[in-house]
Amino acid sequence: MSLLSWNCWGLRSPQTVNALKEVIRIEEPKIVFLMETKSDRDWMVKIRDNYGFKQGLIFPNRGSSGGFALFWKDDIQVNVIKYSPSNIDAEVNSRDGLGWWHLTSFYGQLKTSLRYESWSLLKYLSGLSQLPWLAIGDFNELMCSSEKEGGATKPTQQMQYFVDALNWCGLGDLGFSGPKFTWLYQQSDGTQIRERLDRVVAIMDWVIKFPQANIFHRTFASDHNLLVLNLMRKKLKPVQTKIFRFEAMRLKDSSCEDVVNSAWEEGLHMGIEFPIESCMENCCAKLEVWNKNYFGHVGKNISHRQKHLQWLEMQSTSIENIISMRDTRVELNCWLDKEDSMWHQRSRLNWFQAGDRNTSYFHSKASN
């Protein structure tokens, strides 16, 4: 079982929606916690349903800010025990034989002057359940000065208040894999501020219950990295043999039309009894070679750019690094857009209208 937590800072742009769709497809989470959605209830219900989460609790935006949601799958049990604009507390049973545990989805106060309210709330939540307890989210605070790079130094006492609250609750940081920082701010002078604001903390009973649990900071085209919490090690899926289908996303690359035109002309001059069948087979063969050697596997292209972006985020800040990060984010968004086109075509509702072998594109070529 896995759980996602993301301060998405607005869930209206195609880039953000595609990024969330991609990570849900890869990680297959049972629970998703979203902060700062900046979206109304109707839009969040649509997001929930489209991504296969039929259960959830939604707080709509307040003007141009706020909004958060907790979604979960039907095959797990989630009993919400308390919620507020800063947290959703629930008892969870993943039905894997390990029983129930206490989950707090947490969003710390943005204003430093109100941060004490967050720590008071955290202490209060510690007494809501006697089950093994885990808290995840954007706490909007550092535990030590090494969790920040660039900008003004954080006051030591401010960070200590957070550490004291965690200690009072018996919560320990579970660590992470991936880039060190979870939030990035690009200043007008070209410099960056990077901080680790998002984290997962738990009491020792929870750690003993899930000894294989691990957390990963996943980079996407956003100023906040996404947290992926896996309770157990994932099992590898068997590789399946694919059959050829023409993907509409390939038309986003101008060289695709050249490949089809060339292959169609070759098929017409092969001198066999059924030229249309020959053209189709030749197009399939040529497109498969083009896809492998030039266009590439869309998932691998996305994965490559995500890994490169993660590597860049682990490097020291420099002008060259900032430019490279910006360019990589643009490339990643382009590939996410192509993937969105692919999954739209493959969806059950649209496949017969926009996909498979009888596309309007091939019909137009066959009629010429």
Paired with 216 in beta bridges are: 177, 228
Same domain, 67 and 202: yes
> Does any domain span residue 243?
no
Same domain, 223 and 81: yes
The pLDDT of residue 352 is 40
* Total tally of structural domains belonging to the chain: 2
- Judged by average pLDDT, the poorest of 139-153, 163-177, 185-199, 265-279 is 265-279
The pLDDT of residue 357 is 43
- Judged by average pLDDT, the poorest of 183-187, 215-219, 256-260 is 256-260
Same domain, 144 and 217: yes
The pLDDT of residue 272 is 60
Pick the more confident residue, 289 or 38. 38
> Does any domain span residue 240?
no
> Does any domain span residue 114?
yes
CATH assignment of the domain containing 85 = 3.60.10.10
In whole numbers, what is the pLDDT of the chain averaged over residues? 81
Cα 183 from Cα 241, distance rounded (Å) = 40
Same domain, 210 and 321: no
Strand 77-84 with 87-93, pairing? antiparallel
Same domain, 198 and 257: no
> Does any domain span residue 239?
no
The pLDDT of residue 270 is 64
Same domain, 37 and 150: yes
Cα 197 from Cα 182, distance rounded (Å) = 6
Same domain, 217 and 283: no
Whole-number percent of the chain with pLDDT over 70: 78
Which of 196, 230, 264 represents a domain boundary (last residue)? 230
- Judged by average pLDDT, the poorest of 4-18, 96-110, 259-273, 352-366 is 352-366
Same domain, 90 and 183: yes
> Does any domain span residue 134?
yes
Q: Does residue 290 surpass a pLDDT of 80?
A: no
Same domain, 47 and 179: yes
The pLDDT of residue 258 is 74
Structure tokens at 210: 């899930």
Residues of the domain holding 159: 2-230
304-355: per-residue pLDDT in tens?
A: 777 777 777 777 777 777 777 777 777 777 767 766 666 665 554 443 444 4
Q: Does residue 300 surpass a pLDDT of 80?
A: no
- Judged by average pLDDT, the poorest of 39-48, 129-138, 181-190, 357-366 is 357-366
Q: Does residue 7 surpass a pLDDT of 70?
A: yes
> Does any domain span residue 242?
no
> Does any domain span residue 138?
yes
Computed on alpha carbons and rounded to an integer, the radius of gyration of the chain in Å comes to 24
The pLDDT of residue 186 is 79
> Does any domain span residue 169?
yes
Which of 181, 200, 230 represents a domain boundary (last residue)? 230
Same domain, 174 and 319: no
Which of 184, 199, 230 represents a domain boundary (last residue)? 230
The pLDDT of residue 140 is 96
Same domain, 133 and 176: yes
Q: Does residue 25 surpass a pLDDT of 90?
A: no
234-283: per-residue pLDDT in tens?
A: 665 554 555 556 666 566 666 677 777 776 677 666 656 666 777 777 77
Pick the more confident residue, 212 or 330. 212
Same domain, 112 and 178: yes
